[in-house]
Amino acid sequence: MENGIMFQGFEWYLPADGNYYRQMADTAEALRRRGVTAIWLPPVCKGTSDQDVGYGIYDLYDLGEFDQKGTVRTKYGTKAELLQLIRRFHDVGIQVYADVVLNHKAGADFTETVEACLVNPANRMERQSEPHEIEAWTGFNFPGRQGKYSDYEWHWQNFSGTDFDQRSGQKGIYMFTGDNKVWSTDVSQENGNFDYLMYADIDYANPSSRQEILRWSDWFVRETGVDGFRMDAVKHISALFMKDFVTHVHETQGPDFFFVSEYWQNNPEELSGYLDRTEHRLRLFDVVLHYHFFEAGQTGEAYDLRQIFEGTEVHNNPLNAVTFVDNHDSQPGQSLESTVEPWFKPLAYALILLRESGYPCVFMADYYGSANGSIPAQREVLDRLMALRRRFSYGEQTDYFSEAQAIGWVRAGEGEHPAPLVVVLTNKEATTLRMAVGARLAGEVFADYLGNSHAKVTIDEEGWAEFPVQSRSVSCWLPDGLPLALDQPPLPYLYEAKPTAAAKTAEPAADEAALDQT
C-alpha cells in the first residue's frame, strides 16, 4: 500500500486575484509524481469579500457563483474553476479535502433585536451586564442567491452570541439570553468556556441549525465530489454535534470519507479527551508535535531530541494523528504564530514523512516559500523527502533514541519496497550514530540521498555501521546506486515569492487575533 502524503494547498498570503483555482489545477500531475495523495484546499464558500481567506464565512451554498458581498468569485476563483480543479486532481489520483467552517457566520444581511448580556472575554461564564436588547447582525437571507439550492434563512435563534451591538456601537462578547440560550458545555474550557470565537456563533443546541448544516453537507459533497473535510475550529463547536455530523456524513457518503479536525491546543490530555468524546471517528492535527518542532528550532542544541514525540498525538493516538510542521495559522504575522525555524524544518519533515505512524501534511509555504517572503522555500529537500517516503519508507521501524542531540531510526523495508532506509539527525555538531540494517546486507555500501553527507558507509559483517550526519542536519541512507527518479519537471509557481532577510539567510537544506483558531 502506498504511503499517503497530504499537501496543504494554500497559505495565508496568497494573492487575492482570483487565479488560485486555475493555477493550482496546473500542479496536479507534478504533485502526484511527488507522491502527494490528497490536497487540502482553502475554504471554498463565499466569505465577507473577495479578499477573505475564507474563514469569515458568509454563505455555505455560494462557491463563487452568485453576486454577493461585492463579488461573484471568492478570493480563489469561481465555482466552475473550483469544480474543474477537483476534476483535475481526481483524474491524476489525488483526493481532495475541503476546509469546512461551521463555527460561525459573518457578513449578515440585516440586524435583529435580541436579548443579550456582555460577558468577560477572559471568563465567558462571567456576566458583565444585565440582559438587555441589542441590535445584532444575525439575519441572513442571501439576496444574491435568491433561494437557489436552499431557501433556509438564518436568524438570531440560530446563534448563541455575537461581538457587536449596532444600536450602541459597542464591541464585546455578547451572550444571547433569550430562548434559554447558553454556551455549549462540551467545548474547550479555555476562557471559562470557549464556545464563542468570532462573528455570529452558531448554536448547535438549536435543532434547526443542526438540520440545515446536515442538509448542506449532503448538497456540498454531491455538488463538488470532495473526498474529505478539514473541520475548522472544532474546540469551539459542540463535540456532540461534531460526532453526529461525522456520523451523518459517513452514513450518507460512506465510511471512507475522510475527516481531520483542527483542535488547536498544546495539551495531550485535552486532545485525547476530544477524541474520546467523538468516539475516535475523526483525526486531529498533531498540534503538540508542531509545538515540539517550534521549541526544538528555537532552543537548538539544548533541546533533548529523545523527547520529540513525548505526549504527541502520533505517539498517543497514532491512527488518529495528522502530523504537520507549519500551517497558515502558525506562519509569521498570524495570531497563532509559532513558525518552525528554517534550519530545523528538514529535520521536522523527516520526522513526519519517514516514520511509520501518522498521516503527514506538507505545507505549501514550506514548499514554495510564502508569497510575502516570510517563509523560505525548501523545495529541493522536500522533493527528496517525499520521494523517500513514496519509495523507501516501509517496513518495521527500529528507533535509536539514546542520545539527546542525535537520534535515528531504521525502516527495514517490505514487499515491493525491500530496501532499508536509515535516518539520522542532530541539532548539534556533526556526529555519527551506530545502527543496524541486518547481517544480510553485510558489505553493502550506503549513501546519503539528501546529499548532506558525501561519505560512503559500509555495513559490517554483523549488519551494523556508523552513520554520519552533518551539524544541525539530517541524512537519509540507502544502498548506494538506488535511483530516486528526481529528474522530473519542477512544480509550477503559483506566485512570485518576495525574498526577505529570513529567506536569504536561511541555512540550505544539503489578522487578526479574531481568526486565532482557523
Residues 6+ away with beta carbon under 8 Å from 384: 449, 450, 451, 476, 484, 486
CATH topology of domain 105-202: Elongation Factor Tu (Ef-tu); domain 3 (2.40.30)
DSSP state of 417: B
Residues 6+ away with beta carbon under 8 Å from 470: 430, 452, 453, 510
Mean pLDDT by 10 residues, the chain (518 residues): 94 96 95 96 98 97 98 98 98 98 98 97 96 97 98 98 97 92 96 97 97 98 98 97 98 97 96 95 97 98 98 97 98 95 98 98 96 94 95 96 97 93 98 96 96 95 97 97 67 58 34 35
Handedness of CA 125, 131, 137, 139 (dihedral sign): positive
Q: Is 381 helix (H, G, I), strand (E, B) or coil?
A: helix
Query: CA angle, 154 as apex, 150 and 155 as ends, to 5°?
Result: 155
Q: Are strands 258-261 and 397-400 parallel, antiparallel or unpaired?
A: unpaired
Reading the block at residue 131, the C-alpha cell is: 440582559
Q: Is 206 helix (H, G, I), strand (E, B) or coil?
A: coil
Domain spanning 6-99+207-392, CATH class? alpha beta
Catalytic one among 262, 286, 329, 444?
Answer: 262
Residue 487, number of CB atoms within 10 A of its CB = 6
Q: Nearest-CA neighbor of 252 among 288, 220, 230, 296?
A: 220
* 262 annotated active-site: yes
Torsion of CA 69, 365, 331, 40, to 10 degrees: 60
Q: Is 270 helix (H, G, I), strand (E, B) or coil?
A: helix
Give pLDDT, residue 485: 62
Residues 6+ away with beta carbon under 8 Å from 293: 308, 325, 340, 344, 348, 351
Q: SS3 breakdown of the chain: % helix, strand, coil, rounded to 5?
A: 30, 25, 45
Tell me which residue has cell 502506498. Answer: 2
321/284 Cα distance (integer angstroms): 5
240/362 Cα distance (integer angstroms): 30
Q: Nearest-CA neighbor of 99 among 42, 45, 156, 140?
A: 42
Backbone angles phi, psi at 177, to 5 degrees: -120, -15
Domain boundaries, the chain: 6-99+207-392, 105-202, 397-479
Domain 397-479: assigned CATH number: 2.60.40.1180
Q: Is 242 helix (H, G, I), strand (E, B) or coil?
A: helix
> What does pTM read for this prediction?
0.93
Asked if residue 423 lies in contact with residue 452, where contact means CB atoms within 8 angstroms, the answer is no
Residues 6+ away with beta carbon under 8 Å from 418: none
* 232 annotated active-site: yes
Catalytic one among 227, 232, 366, 448?
Answer: 232
